[in-house]
A and B are shown apart, each in its own frame.
Chain A
Amino acid sequence: MTATALASDFLDFDFGGRRVADPATSATLLRLQGAMQSHARASASDLISATRSMLRGVAEECAAPDWDGAGANAVSMTTVQNVERLIGDLHAFLPSSVPLPDIVPENDGDLSLTWQAASDQLFSISVAASGAVAFASRLAGGVEFHGKARLGSMSEDILRSLGTTISGLFTAGKPRR
């Protein structure tokens, strides 16, 4: 098979196909998340408290291995605590106009926080149980901004840069970087 032949193909990818047994829980979480994201935060503490409840819900659903039906690693409580720590570090650099992030589990057991302003404008940061942090983004004008860090050793400059990039998604014009 050649690349040319593939280029005309359509690909299919199954997802959301968790070995779920309790779709009601998922639906409730989705509703909760949607409702929370539809309103701007009133304060920085909202970010911490709201994401904490969502985090716990996602972690509960993904606490056992193979939660996606395709061999995913379990999401550990250490990972949840690491995400809470990151949010605690980051919240000072996020204005209250920035909406709550989408919390998505990843197949390696990491948790990610994603802020999305449009289908092609988003910022996502993954946190591992080890404390490793990986972020990637697509910004206005097709600009990419990605990198890695480690919890506990992220300088104020790095946190400010991340906060500015995230808030820039939700302001008109070019992101403030």
Chain B
Amino acid sequence: MGTVKHQHFLPREILGRYESSVYRTSGLSQAENWALIRRVFEGNGKNVAKARAFGPADAILCAGLTFDADGKPHARHANIIGWSQTDKHLRKQQAMNFASAFRYEERPATAPLPTISTQ
């Protein structure tokens, strides 16, 4: 059984802004969630998701962060924003403050594995 670590949420700096990529999955069944992962994460034929983390958006907001629902590359996509622009220790603390609200779900046997490209 895996756990959700705060490191999974640490943001990347993209065009001068720190952001973490998430998907809004309210209303989706487990099968629909994994179909979304197949499409947006595994669609390149190289990635394989071993697990996913899911949790309430409220936990992010309570940690003083917010969202940019950019809808790219999928309508359900958003970025967690509001991270410290200056210090990594602050970003670690921000991630740590909400990570425990997320739960871990290993890839179910019912979710078909993607076909991996060898190129």
Contact = CB atoms under 8 A, between A and B. Distances in A.
Nearest to A128: B88
A135 B51 contact: no
Interface string A84-112: 00000000000000000010111110101
Contacts of B88: 108, 110, 126, 132, 134, 148
Interface in A99-133: 102, 104-108, 110, 112, 114, 119-120, 122, 124, 126, 132
B53 A124 contact: no
Contacts of A146: 89-90, 92-93
B16 interface: no
A105 B8 CA distance: 9
Nearest to A15: B8
Contacts of A12: 22-25, 33, 36-37, 52-54
Interface string B12-26: 100000001111111
Contacts of A138: 96-97
State the main secondary structure of chain B at its contact with A.
Answer: mixed
A117 B57 CA distance: 25
Given A119-B100, A138-B97, A107 B10 contact: yes
Interface stretch (A16-24, A35-43, A151-159, A169-177): A16-24
Given A11-B25, A11-B60, A144-B93, A6 B49 contact: no
B89 A70 contact: no
Contacts of A144: 93, 97
A43 B51 CA distance: 35
A16 B89 contact: no
Contacts of A147: 89
Contact of A136 (B8, B22, B42, B92): B92
Interface of A: 1, 3, 6-21, 23, 69-71, 102, 104-108, 110, 112, 114, 119-120, 122, 124, 126, 132, 134-138, 144, 146-148
8 contacts: A7-B61, A9-B26, A14-B41, A15-B49, A15-B50, A69-B47, A135-B92, A136-B92
Given A7-B61, A16-B50, A146-B93, 8 more contacts: A6-B67, A7-B56, A11-B56, A12-B33, A18-B48, A122-B96, A137-B93, A148-B87
